[in-house]
A = this chain, B = another copy of it.
């Protein structure tokens, strides 16, 4: 189905192009504004120049990849919504009615939904151009009782992400955002954060889609049990993914690796995408520089993830929807930064006086 192995993709991920970053800085400093006065927009423009090796990469085609899958741990009563919502929302995505559709439309980005492991038959959607069937299984196993998936399936989840990212880059997408759908996936993401950031579940667990206090206590207990039962080696992304899941989180990690290998900026959504980013970074530390953190989520573990990754989010709108909604808004800001670099007049062109010396 695909002709690569993950280790080779990791080797393709190189450092950012310092020459392009330097050229971008020189140009930014020649534009009709006080130096550095566009703050993070200037930093972003420089980063994207380094990622792409170009001061004017083609980012006219933008994409959100929504990875969808189910979680066996939902049997433990950790979510406010029934797991039927995962496939129902996949239909909602395909029909254009979800938050991510609206925000992607707003910023001019396309959306594709990848079934990485939804616990329902979605083959009826196979002919839909915005749907990609990469189902590994009908949801993960209940990680409170044992590994969420096999190591082979963990590799497969990451390969799916790499494969989709490569296909989409070949289609011409110049900037890609990550997104997720999966009832139960804040539990998996909190468990990943607890394990990989080395903090107790209590400090990285939130209210997900809206559980009550009792549900929260149960969720924290379940996450502690997940870590205890599985004892994942925290520095091994494959093992963490296999033991904790889920398929969509592995898929997101793969999208990040695939984009980094192809030198395409990848805009990271919130908490679930953050879990994917942690996995990706543990496999290929250099991929970090290819990521742009869009927002900081309400889920309290997200801040800890971002700190661990050394990434500063662009904004905090108190969002906790996932789907790529933060990434969509982030893509627009990333694109704005490159327009600043390319479309503003220089002091010379505009005949504007420079600073007093």
Contacts and interface: CB of A to CB of B under 8 A. Distances in A.
Interface of A: 31-35, 37-41, 79-82, 84-85, 88-89, 91-92, 95, 97-99, 101-103, 105-107, 209-210, 298, 314-315, 317-321, 325, 329, 332-333, 335-336, 339-340, 343-345, 349-356
B81 A209 contact: no
A41 B195 CA distance: 32
A79 B355 CA distance: 9
A89 B32 contact: yes
Contacts of A92: 32, 345, 350, 352
A179 B353 CA distance: 21
B40 A318 contact: yes
B333 A329 contact: yes
Copies in the assembly, this chain: 2
Contacts of A351: 88, 91
Most buried by B among A85, A335, A356: A356
B82 A356 contact: yes
B39 A353 contact: no
B344 A102 contact: yes
B317 A33 contact: no
22 contacts: A38-B99, A38-B321, A39-B298, A39-B318, A40-B318, A41-B317, A41-B319, A81-B353, A84-B353, A85-B352, A85-B353, A92-B350, A97-B350, A98-B344, A98-B350, A99-B340, A101-B343, A102-B339, A102-B340, A102-B344, A314-B315, A314-B317
